[in-house]
């Protein structure tokens, strides 16, 4: 079976559904351990390391985040938040079957809610995917918020 | 007029040494009086001069609820001006940062002003020729605030034209700023990128109180720091492999009560104070030899030893900032209403130091201070629950009695057990002082 562009696109849709359904442990397994989940603070930021980002999470931090969401004494998740991604069909910007390397660019509306509060973020997600043992994996994911420089309240789940 | 305006006795009665009335946290009139008195009479943080490195560079920000521009003038000095055209009130600049060249120009009627605020030109000026314009306030240009001080790069302002001097206001408390700046081999800091901006639906003083509250980390942060410690133990990390930087930062939040008791709290007059007199949660950070060498080259061995052995935790500069010297970080708690606070968290680069220090500083900021940070979620949940809970028709008082003694004198410097709430008492003592010092007493006069 040969991987097609549609398989790449389906992967992005499946990830969004996983997050919306709260299947965070499955989501962790989508990642290559060395990969980073990056949410820049500044519009068109290029450096994740020496200026502040909203998120720049490695495997340990991703696991901590997911583990904490289910914690007995995680008071900011009592009651729990819920999220919802509405995604536009991803652009497959790079499709290199031989190298097993793919890059997508996806526009999304992300909604998160808890108690009586709900907010909307307009985001662009850039996924770098790799084929590992015949399966697609997230090598890196960058999430740019349209209003990344605005003041936010808590963003507790995973845009 | 409500029950507190022009009534200093009623304002002072809101603070007893061991407890504080809830109106200081939830009342609209008290908030407005804080803006008028407290944030006018005290020295408030404005910005860092590396945010405006060249002539004409400016930032816009606010002191209390007052919109201001911080700008570098042609004489290379930093000026702080009210961001209001003297003509119709239009804000002169609204970009968070920019360069205005040699002068500001109002976008509404093109009145222009030098970067020290002086009125430069008005189009069609003959229209004012036969008026008494030269005697009007509009002729004064963009008004500067009462006084400005640039302390080793950190710019503070006092809105009131007269009042306490910078030196008398801060005194020995500036030692925490000194330590933060001295940690740079070249003895100066530079701002690193824009600040995190985190909106809190709670009173600004809840954030200030929390900075020296050493009995909450092991409780409120059990969800984040406790889980981190547990995951790390399960990971069977090889002993010879360096601990992840994130663990160095987050694990000490779970230190036991004794650790915080022994670390000590020092309070200074006028509401300033810090935790971590003897050690702190920043004490065990990895130090690379190349940083030590750079410090010794800049300061000499003896001074380097002195500077790096002072590892303070949080220093509160009353009313509304906190710095972490060992992490080169400043948090600005900007009051937007009795129940709304914008928190801006800045990081700085130690000029002449290796990059790993800035890497840790940036990581600390996103792990602890971001709206996406787990530790931030823990804290904000508590503040917002308290802001709502205070409205209950139960007791009207907030208790700040831990380790309180009858003999406390906040005009004296003191070092005490690290779990004392003395610094919160010190803050509210200063609150009364700077709230009432310029308040007229029309109520008592009328009685």
One-character DSSP codes across A103-136: EEEEEEEEEEEETTEEEEEEEEEEEEEEEETTEE
Judge whether residue B295 has pLDDT over 60.
yes
Number of domains comprising chain A = 1
Is A135 a member of any domain? yes
Is A155 a member of any domain? no
* Residue B409: per-residue pLDDT: 97
Mean pLDDT throughout B109-137?
96
Residue of B377, B378, B380 to mutate, interface with A, max A Cβ within 10 Å: B377
Among positive and negative, which fits the CA dihedral B187, B303, B247, B206?
A: negative
Judge whether residue B249 has pLDDT over 70.
yes
Residue of B366, B367, B376 to mutate, interface with A, max A Cβ within 10 Å: B366
* Residue B240: per-residue pLDDT: 86
Q: Do A54 and B196 touch (CB under 8 A)?
A: yes
Judge whether residue A158 has pLDDT over 60.
yes
Facing residue for A68 by CB, picked from B195, B198, B224: B224
Between B204-211 and B422-436, two packed helices, what is the crossing angle to 10 degrees? Answer: 140
Structure confidence at residue B1 as a pLDDT band (50, 70, 90): low
* Residue B442: per-residue pLDDT: 77
How far out from the chain centre does Cα B94 lie?
22
Report the candidate in A157, A139, A158, A143 with the shortest Cα–Cα distance to residue A43: A143
Judge whether residue B197 has pLDDT over 70.
yes
Structure confidence at residue B244 as a pLDDT band (50, 70, 90): confident
Mean pLDDT throughout A9-29?
98
Domain residues for A20?
5-145
Report the candidate in B371, B287, B301, B357 with the shortest Cα–Cα distance to residue B329: B357
What is the percentage of chain A residues whose pLDDT exceeds 90?
A: 97
Q: Do B194 and A76 touch (CB under 8 A)?
A: no
Mean pLDDT throughout B179-185?
98
* Residue B19: per-residue pLDDT: 98
Judge whether residue A18 has pLDDT over 80.
yes
* Residue B428: per-residue pLDDT: 98
- Residue B116 CA to residue B108 CA, distance in Å, equals 20
Judge whether residue B242 has pLDDT over 90.
no
Is A86 a member of any domain? yes
Alpha-carbon distances, residue A104 vs A30, A95, A108, A159, B377 (angstroms):
15, 9, 13, 16, 31
How far out from the chain centre does Cα A25 lie?
13
Q: How far is A37 from chain B (nearest CA, A)?
A: 12
Q: Do A75 and B345 touch (CB under 8 A)?
A: no
* Residue B447: per-residue pLDDT: 57
Facing residue for B371 by CB, picked from A42, A71, A152: A152
Report the candidate in A78, A139, A65 with the shortest Cα–Cα distance to residue B370: A65
Q: Do A154 and B371 touch (CB under 8 A)?
A: yes
Cβ proximity of B54 and B99 under 8 Å: yes
Judge whether residue B75 has pLDDT over 80.
yes
Q: Do B224 and A64 touch (CB under 8 A)?
A: yes
Q: Do A64 and B378 touch (CB under 8 A)?
A: no
CATH number of the CATH domain containing A16? 3.10.450.50
Is A158 a member of any domain? no
- Closest chain A residue to the Cα of B226, Cα to Cα: A68
pLDDT in tens, B213-222: 999 999 999 9
Mean pLDDT throughout B18-31?
98
Q: Do A74 and B223 touch (CB under 8 A)?
A: yes
Q: How far is A99 from chain B (nearest CA, A)?
A: 31
Judge whether residue B444 has pLDDT over 70.
no
CATH superfamily of B45-151: Rieske [2Fe-2S] iron-sulphur domain (2.102.10.10)
Which of A113-122, B47-56, B242-251, B364-373 is least confident? B242-251
* Residue B11: per-residue pLDDT: 98
Q: Is the ipTM of this complex over 0.85?
A: yes
Residue of B204, B228, B231, B370 to mutate, interface with A, max A Cβ within 10 Å: B370
Among positive and negative, which fits the CA dihedral B196, B201, B204, B209?
A: negative
Q: How far is A15 from chain B (nearest CA, A)?
A: 20
Is A53 a member of any domain? yes
Mean pLDDT throughout A84-99?
97
* Residue B446: per-residue pLDDT: 61
Is A154 a member of any domain? no
* Residue B445: per-residue pLDDT: 62
Contacts A149 to B, Cβ<8 Å: 96, 194, 197
* Residue B162: per-residue pLDDT: 97
Report the candidate in A152, A120, A24 with the shortest Cα–Cα distance to residue B380: A152
Q: Of A105 and B239, which is predicted with more confidence? A: A105
The single residue listed with the structure tokens 């940070």 is B373
* Residue B237: per-residue pLDDT: 86
Q: How far is A142 from chain B (nearest CA, A)?
A: 14
- Residue B158 CA to residue B37 CA, distance in Å, equals 11
Which of A70-74, B203-207, B411-415 is least confident? A70-74
pLDDT in tens, B373-384: 999 999 999 999
Neighbours of A73 (CB within 10 A): 15
* Residue B243: per-residue pLDDT: 83
Interface of A with B (CB under 8 A): 39, 41-42, 49-56, 58, 60-61, 63-65, 67-68, 71, 73-77, 149-156
Q: Do A152 and B199 touch (CB under 8 A)?
A: yes
Q: From the CA atom positions of chain A, what is the Rg in Å?
A: 16
- Closest chain A residue to the Cα of B348, Cα to Cα: A51
Is A153 a member of any domain? no
DSSP B29-47: HHHHHIIIIIHHHS-EEEE
Judge whether residue B437 has pLDDT over 90.
yes
Q: How far is A24 from chain B (nearest CA, A)?
A: 16
Q: For the domain made up of B175-434, give the CATH fold.
A: Naphthalene 1,2-dioxygenase Alpha Subunit; Chain A, domain 1 (3.90.380)
Judge whether residue A1 has pLDDT over 80.
no
Domain boundaries, chain B: 45-151, 175-434
Mean pLDDT throughout B310-331?
98
Is A115 a member of any domain? yes
């Amino acid at each position: 079976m040969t991987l097609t562009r549609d398989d790449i696109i389906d992967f992005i849709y499946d990830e969004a559904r996983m997050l919306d359904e709260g299947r965070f442990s499955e989501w962790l397994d989508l990642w290559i351990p060395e990969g980073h989940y990056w949410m820049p603070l500044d519009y068109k930021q290029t450096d994740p390391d020496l200026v502040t980002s909203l998120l720049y999470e490695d495997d340990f931090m991703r696991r901590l985040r997911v583990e904490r969401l289910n914690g007995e004494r995680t008071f900011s998740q009592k009651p729990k938040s819920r999220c919802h991604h509405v995604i536009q069909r991803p652009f497959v910007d790079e499709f290199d079957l031989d190298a097993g390397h793919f890059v997508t660019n996806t526009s999304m509306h992300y909604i998160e809610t808890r108690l009586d509060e709900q907010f909307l973020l307009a985001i662009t997600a850039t996924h770098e995917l790799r084929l590992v043992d015949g399966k697609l994996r997230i090598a890196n994911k960058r999430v740019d918020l349209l209003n990344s420089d605005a003041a936010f309240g808590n963003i507790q789940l995973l845009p | 007029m409500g029950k507190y305006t022009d009534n200093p006795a009623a304002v002072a009665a809101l603070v007893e040494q061991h407890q504080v009335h809830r109106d200081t946290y939830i009342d609209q009139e008290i908030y407005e009086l804080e803006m008028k008195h407290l944030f006018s009479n005290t020295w408030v943080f404005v910005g860092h001069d590396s945010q405006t490195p060249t002539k004409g560079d400016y930032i816009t920000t606010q002191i209390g609820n007052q919109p201001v521009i911080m700008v570098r003038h042609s004489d290379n000095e930093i000026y702080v001006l009210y961001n209001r055209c003297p003509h119709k009130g239009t804000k002169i600049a609204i970009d968070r940062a920019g360069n205005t060249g040699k002068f500001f120009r109002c976008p509404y009627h093109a009145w222009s002003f030098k970067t020290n605020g002086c009125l430069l030109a008005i189009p069609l000026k003959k229209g004012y020729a036969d008026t008494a314009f030269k005697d009007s306030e509009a002729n004064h240009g963009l008004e500067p605030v009462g006084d400005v001080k640039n302390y080793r790069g950190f710019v503070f302002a006092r809105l009131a034209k007269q009042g306490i001097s910078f030196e008398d206001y801060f005194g020995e408390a500036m030692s925490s700023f000194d330590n933060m700046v001295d940690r740079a081999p070249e003895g100066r800091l530079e701002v690193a990128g824009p600040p995190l901006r985190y909106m809190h639906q709670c009173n600004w003083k809840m954030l200030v109180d929390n900075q020296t509250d050493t009995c909450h980390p092991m409780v409120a942060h059990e969800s984040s720091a406790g889980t981190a410690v547990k995951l790390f133990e399960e990971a069977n990390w090889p002993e010879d492999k360096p601990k992840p930087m994130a663990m160095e930062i987050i694990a000490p939040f779970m230190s036991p009560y004794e650790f915080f008791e022994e670390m000590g709290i020092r309070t200074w007059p006028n509401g300033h104070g810090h935790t971590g007199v003897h050690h702190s949660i920043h004490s065990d950070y990895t130090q690379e030899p190349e940083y030590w060498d750079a410090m010794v080259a800049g300061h000499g061995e003896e001074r380097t030893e002195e500077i790096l052995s002072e590892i303070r935790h949080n220093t509160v500069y009353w009313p509304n900032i906190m710095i972490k010297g060992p992490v080169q970080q400043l948090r600005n708690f900007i009051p937007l209403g009795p129940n709304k606070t914008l928190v801006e968290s800045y990081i700085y680069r130690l000029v002449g130091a290796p990059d790993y220090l800035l890497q840790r500083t940036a990581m600390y900021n996103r792990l602890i201070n971001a709206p996406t940070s787990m530790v931030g979620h823990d804290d904000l949940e508590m503040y917002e629950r308290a802001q709502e809970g205070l409205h209950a028709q139960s007791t009207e008082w907030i208790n700040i009695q831990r380790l309180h003694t009858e003999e406390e004198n906040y005009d004296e410097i003191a070092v005490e057990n690290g779990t004392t709430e003395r610094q919160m008492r010190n803050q509210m003592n200063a609150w009364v002082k700077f709230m009432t010092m310029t308040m007229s007493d029309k109520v008592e006069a009328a009685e």
